[in-house]
Amino acid sequence: MEILRLENVTFRYPKAAASAVENINLVVESGEFVVICGESGCGKTTLLRLLKRELAPAGEKTGTVFYRGTPLEALDERTNAAQIGYVLQNPDNQIVTDKVWHELAFGLENLGVPTALIRRRVGEMASYFGIQNWFRKDTDQLSGGEKQLLNLASVMVMGPKVLILDEPTSQLDPIAASEFIATLHKLNRELGLTILLVEHRLEDVFPMADKVLVMEQGRALLYDTPGQVGRRLGELQKDHPMLLGLPSAVRLYNALASGGRHPRALSDPCPLTVKEGRDFLEKHFGGRVQESGEGLPGRMNSAASHEEAVIELDKVWFRYEKDLPDILRGLSLKVYRGETYCILGGNGTGKTTALNVISGLNKAYRGKVRIAGKLIKAYRGQSLYRENLAFLPQNPQTVFIRDKVRDDYREILDVWQVPKGQQGELVERMAEKIGVTHLLDKHPFDLSGGEQQKCALGKVLMSKPKILLLDEPTKGLDACSKHALGGLLGELKEEGMTILMVTHDVEFAAENADRCALFFDGEILSADVPELFFAENNFYTTAANRMARELWPYAVTCDQVARRCMELPEEEGL
Amino acid sequence: MKAFGNYHPAVLMVYFLSVLLVAMFVTNPVLQLSALSGGALFAMALERPGNWARDGAFYVPLFFMVAVTNPLFSHNGVTPLFFLNGNPVTLEAFVYGIAIGVMVIGVILWCKCYSRIMTSDKFLYLFGRIIPKLSLVLSMALRFIPMFKRQMHRVSRARRAMGLYAADSFTDKLKSRMSVFMAMIAWSLENAMETAASMKARGYGIKGRTNFSLFRFTARDGVLLSVCILLLGVTLVGTAMGEMAFYYYPRISHLNVTPLALFLYGAFGILSFLPFFVEIKGALIWKYYVWKM
């Protein structure tokens, strides 16, 4: 039974030259799990909002959205509010009230449901989502993952038939994100709930979907099963930017396809999961790889000169308060000039705290921190931050306080007492370097997540640092923005910048780091080049490595796996 | 141990208002002493025994301070004890000082218990019944404040790490703080858009909104409420009849000990010890269950 039907839906924002959504025709069957993907600015969010009457943007709309055969405009407001649920991106901003139980009841209160019934429905939902243990807590005390689960539960309590989610996991760490996605899968499977989900992180979600809609410049490029989409996207355009965001198995398949080799392997369906990818590799390439032929990758010996350590921590101990447990427990670390060093590790292990200590925001109570060979204590005033060290915090919004990006950049120059006359040129030069010239006169909060990240990076670079500290730089970014960020960091490295970043994103680390380190229990357990680092981890490694490790243990990125496949001769017996 | 706090917020509100009303406006020493001791015992029952000494170290000196202040400045009364700088320090002023001390400490203790028992959600629930919009606004404010504070903290750290707190002069600092604050306002408005979307998506604005709460008015709430109103009524009637009138100036009057007065003292005594009894009963029942297991 069809639950949603879009007929020739076109939408244009006021004063916009092009349509944000153009001529979309689409049928969603009841109980389907639909994943919508596309580059940022492709009209995904606009399309989702057109499906929810209360959130429909103002502008010029033609075409009709039918919900169970009735045009959306003709539905009465109660049906509309209750049966089409909508979950937004930011876990914090969606929460309205101060208590968990009140948040759960909020939607039902709005519908005017009597208290006794609210009590039952809220209780039922809290049990289903496992919220009962924090039912009476303040919403402010919850973790990000819990907050987003609460947002989902407080929509589900109204009994929706269709659930629409706009990048719900982009602000969550990978573990909380997987839990959230698993909950969605459970809702879809157990309750037959129809789900429309916009996501960047497709590794988990893509194989779960019944249908995938790929959007490009407001149009529906593809609407098909994941396997078909995985195959056809590459056929449409060999290096389609959306390919970057697809699961590693799909990327590998498409890399082979664009190389034009191994036609026999390509006649198989496109693998979607790590397991399918591993079977695919085993079937077509297994047994043809020489056991001993796998040498260590050349990048190992290059990297930076291992002579001059610019960040040096020697048995550093730190805790926030006297009675609290230690966060850093004898942390020792050396980052050499010109290298990109990546600290990986689970949530709440103290990675961010380590960055805070290195950036001088927190002081270690034992041990030594040396920046550029000088004890951090010896830096007077603001000298640590002048042409020396810069820190980009996790949330790029915290960096901006002016109405224009340009003024924010000038703020740094003002503090360093650069004459006004020279400021304009310096700002322009920086903007050009990181590719944000067209954004200089915009309000920082009007930018997309990826643009904010870039502009924030530009602002911290205004003080001409030689060491750059990054805290979760890929949080909330889509695959293309991540790729662009990776390129930018590469350029900075070329210029001699030392980069230390803390991240959850193993794929990003594998592609961009010279050395990776695992942070656990307040110290660094192992540090090595990515190829060795990930080859020695069994679980904490990239999806590409998990697929290919039986054949090529040192292949950690999709490109590396694809390259090794290409080097093999064609299969025989065609 | 919060057996008393489990009663319905309306009952609790009526209770606290009645005790505070009598404790503040009736100047009978028996009533005030029972208000003080009832409040002190209740406060102790709510506090961990480890903190009793710390609290005592605050209230006892405060009591003496209040008690001593009155005879130093008030020279009313007819029984001088001694002269200080040529001014008489009278017995009446001294006793009245002690009475004020009892009253002040009693009221503070009751207010402390009030703030422990009447948490924000209870308060909101009560006032939400009268002005539904207000209670939602208050709830949203309570949600927003910690978020705002956290973001402000993050911004100021980000600025420190950019070397932006370099300005030495006071006006520069002020300007810097001001611009951070303005940015925070912009940030809040930005976030409010999403909050508004989330509210609208969940049907806010549809007519006939109800107010849900976790509180239910049960039989035991009815019993406590009736007992409370009855005891307050008796006390007020007794006061109006002048049965408990007491004066300190010019000469300390005699305490009325007629059977009726004793009955009235008893009535208010029960009222002020009620929460303590409820707490003790709760604790005993709990001990009994544990023991039976």
Place of tokens 């209160």: A109
Residue of A81, A112, A155 with shortest CB distance to B208: A112
Q: Please report, for residues B12, B29, B33, B110, B231, the alpha-carbon distance to residue B265 in angstroms, rounded to integers and kept in the order given.
A: 22, 10, 10, 19, 10
Nearest residue of chain A to residue B161 (CA atoms):
A391
pLDDT given for residue A39 in this prediction? 85
* Chain B neighbors of A475, CB-CB under 8 A: none
Within 10 A of A267 (CB to CB), how many other CB atoms are there? 8
Residue A473 DSSP symbol: T
A residues 233-262 closer than 8 Å to B (CB) = none
Hey, is the C-beta of A524 within 8 angstroms of any chain B C-beta?
A: no
Instruction: Look at residue A121 and tell me whether its pLDDT is greater than 70.
Output: yes
Instruction: Look at residue B228 and tell me whether its pLDDT is greater than 70.
Output: yes
Instruction: Look at residue A287 and tell me whether its pLDDT is greater than 80.
Output: no
Instruction: Look at residue A299 and tell me whether its pLDDT is greater than 60.
Output: no
Q: Alpha helix locations (H) across A58-137? A: 77-83, 91-94, 100-111, 115-128
Q: Is the CB of residue A329 less than 8 Å from the CB of residue A317?
A: yes
Distance, in Å, from the CA atom of A471 to the CA atom of A357, rounded to the nearest integer, reads 13
A389-418: average pLDDT: 91
ipTM for the assembly: 0.86
Q: Are strands A60-67 and A33-37 parallel, antiparallel or unpaired?
A: unpaired
* Chain A neighbors of B132, CB-CB under 8 A: none
Place of tokens 């959504």: A21
Structural domain contains residue B108: yes
Instruction: Look at residue A306 and tell me whether its pLDDT is greater than 70.
Output: no
pLDDT given for residue A297 in this prediction? 54
pLDDT given for residue A200 in this prediction? 85
Closest CA to A59 of A20, A88, A1: A20
Hey, is the C-beta of A223 within 8 angstroms of any chain B C-beta?
A: no
Which residues, other chains included, contact A21 with Cβ-Cβ below 8 Å and sequence gap of 6+? Answer: A9, A10, A11, A43, A46, A47, A50, A218
Residue of A90, A96, A122 with shortest CB distance to B140: A96
Instruction: Look at residue A347 and tell me whether its pLDDT is greater than 90.
Output: no
Instruction: Look at residue A499 and tell me whether its pLDDT is greater than 50.
Output: yes
Interchain contact, A112 vs B199, CB within 8 Å? no
Instruction: Look at residue A354 and tell me whether its pLDDT is greater than 50.
Output: yes
Instruction: Look at residue B1 and tell me whether its pLDDT is greater than 50.
Output: no
Instruction: Look at residue B291 and tell me whether its pLDDT is greater than 90.
Output: no
pLDDT interval class at A414 (50, 70, 90): confident
pLDDT given for residue B41 in this prediction? 93
CA atoms within 13 A on the CB side of B52: 10
Helix (H) or strand (E) holding A431: helix A420-434
Residue A298 vs residue B103, higher pLDDT: B103
The amino acid at A17? A
Report chain A's mean pLDDT, rounded to a whole number.
90
Instruction: Look at residue A304 and tell me whether its pLDDT is greater than 90.
Output: no
Chain B: closest CA distance from residue A276 (Å) = 39
Q: Is the CB of residue B66 less than 8 Å from the CB of residue B32?
A: no
Q: How deeply is A321 buried, as exposed, middle or buried, from its count of CB atoms within 10 A (0-12, 13-18, 19+)? A: exposed
Closest CA to A42 of A186, A221, A180, A170: A221
Hey, is the C-beta of A132 within 8 angstroms of any chain B C-beta?
A: no
Instruction: Look at residue B282 and tell me whether its pLDDT is greater than 60.
Output: yes
Interchain contact, A97 vs B139, CB within 8 Å? yes
At A23-57, the pLDDT tens digits run: 999 999 999 999 999 888 888 999 999 999 999 99
Domain, as residue range, for B42:
4-149+212-292
Distance, in Å, from the CA atom of A482 to the CA atom of A449, rounded to the nearest integer, reads 11
Instruction: Look at residue A434 and tell me whether its pLDDT is greater than 50.
Output: yes
Instruction: Look at residue A261 and tell me whether its pLDDT is greater than 80.
Output: no
Distance, in Å, from the CA atom of A479 to the CA atom of B95, rounded to the nearest integer, reads 80
Hey, is the C-beta of A417 within 8 angstroms of any chain B C-beta?
A: no
Report chain B's mean pLDDT, rounded to a whole number.
88
Distance, in Å, from the CA atom of A317 to the CA atom of A354, rounded to the nearest integer, reads 10
A70-74: average pLDDT: 93
Structural domain contains residue B197: no
Nearest residue of chain B to residue A157 (CA atoms):
B202
Structural domain contains residue B55: yes
Q: Is the CB of residue B39 less than 8 Å from the CB of residue B110?
A: yes
What size, in residues, is chain B? 293
Structural domain contains residue B199: no
Helix (H) or strand (E) holding B22: helix B9-25
Residue to substitute from A45, A138, A140, interface B, most B β-carbons within 10 A:
A140
Helix (H) or strand (E) holding A6: strand A2-12
Instruction: Look at residue A292 and tell me whether its pLDDT is greater than 60.
Output: no
Hey, is the C-beta of A140 within 8 angstroms of any chain B C-beta?
A: yes
At B165-183, the pLDDT tens digits run: 655 677 877 887 888 888 8
Hey, is the C-beta of B164 within 8 angstroms of any chain A C-beta?
A: yes
Instruction: Look at residue A80 and tell me whether its pLDDT is greater than 80.
Output: yes
A residues 10-39 closer than 8 Å to B (CB) = none
Beta strands (DSSP E) in B57-203 are 80-84, 87-90
Hey, is the C-beta of A385 within 8 angstroms of any chain B C-beta?
A: yes
Instruction: Look at residue A78 and tell me whether its pLDDT is greater than 60.
Output: yes
DSSP sequence for A117-165: HHHHHHHHHHHHTT-GGGTTSBGGGS-HHHHHHHHHHHHHTT--SEEEE
Q: Which of A344-348, A501-505, B172-176 has the lowest mean pLDDT?
A: B172-176
Instruction: Look at residue A301 and tell me whether its pLDDT is greater than 70.
Output: no
B residues 227-286 closer than 8 Å to A (CB) = none
Structural domain contains residue B191: no
Distance, in Å, from the CA atom of A381 to the CA atom of B165, rounded to the nearest integer, reads 9
pLDDT interval class at B230 (50, 70, 90): very high
Closest CA to A35 of A155, A164, A153: A164
At A188-220, the pLDDT tens digits run: 999 999 999 999 889 899 999 999 999 999 999
Interchain contact, B162 vs A122, CB within 8 Å? no
Chain B: closest CA distance from residue A341 (Å) = 20
Instruction: Look at residue A302 and tell me whether its pLDDT is greater than 50.
Output: no
The domain total for chain B is 1
pLDDT interval class at A300 (50, 70, 90): very low
Structural domain contains residue B183: no
Q: Is the CB of residue A344 less than 8 Å from the CB of residue A516?
A: yes
pLDDT given for residue B167 in this prediction? 58
Which residues, other chains included, contact A242 with Cβ-Cβ below 8 Å and sequence gap of 6+? Answer: A37, A38, A39, A214, A216, A233, A479
Distance, in Å, from the CA atom of B239 to the CA atom of B270, rounded to the nearest integer, reads 16
Q: What percent of chain A has pLDDT over 70?
A: 96
B141-149: average pLDDT: 90
Residue of A140, A384, A443 with shortest CB distance to B143: A140
What size, in residues, is chain A? 574
Hey, is the C-beta of B168 within 8 angstroms of any chain A C-beta?
A: no
DSSP sequence for B233-275: HHHHHHHHTTTT----SSSPPPPP-SHHHHHHHHHHHHHHHHH
Distance, in Å, from the CA atom of A232 to the CA atom of B124, rounded to the nearest integer, reads 57
* Chain B neighbors of A112, CB-CB under 8 A: 206-210
Nearest residue of chain A to residue B122 (CA atoms):
A99
Closest CA to A453 of A426, A435, A467, A432: A435
Instruction: Look at residue A290 and tell me whether its pLDDT is greater than 90.
Output: no
A554-562: average pLDDT: 90
Instruction: Look at residue A102 and tell me whether its pLDDT is greater than 80.
Output: yes
Q: Alpha helix locations (H) across A462-517? A: 479-494, 506-512
Query: What is the b/e burial string over A72-87, where b = at least 16 CB atoms within 10 angstroms of the residue's CB?
Result: beebeebebbbbbbbb
Hey, is the C-beta of A491 within 8 angstroms of any chain B C-beta?
A: no
pLDDT given for residue A525 in this prediction? 87
Instruction: Look at residue B248 and tell me whether its pLDDT is greater than 90.
Output: no
Chain B: closest CA distance from residue A456 (Å) = 11
pLDDT given for residue A108 in this prediction? 95
Structural domain contains residue B163: no
Q: Which of A282-291, A462-471, B268-277 has the lowest mean pLDDT?
A: A282-291
Q: What is the number of CB-based contacts under 8 A between chain A and chain B?
A: 168
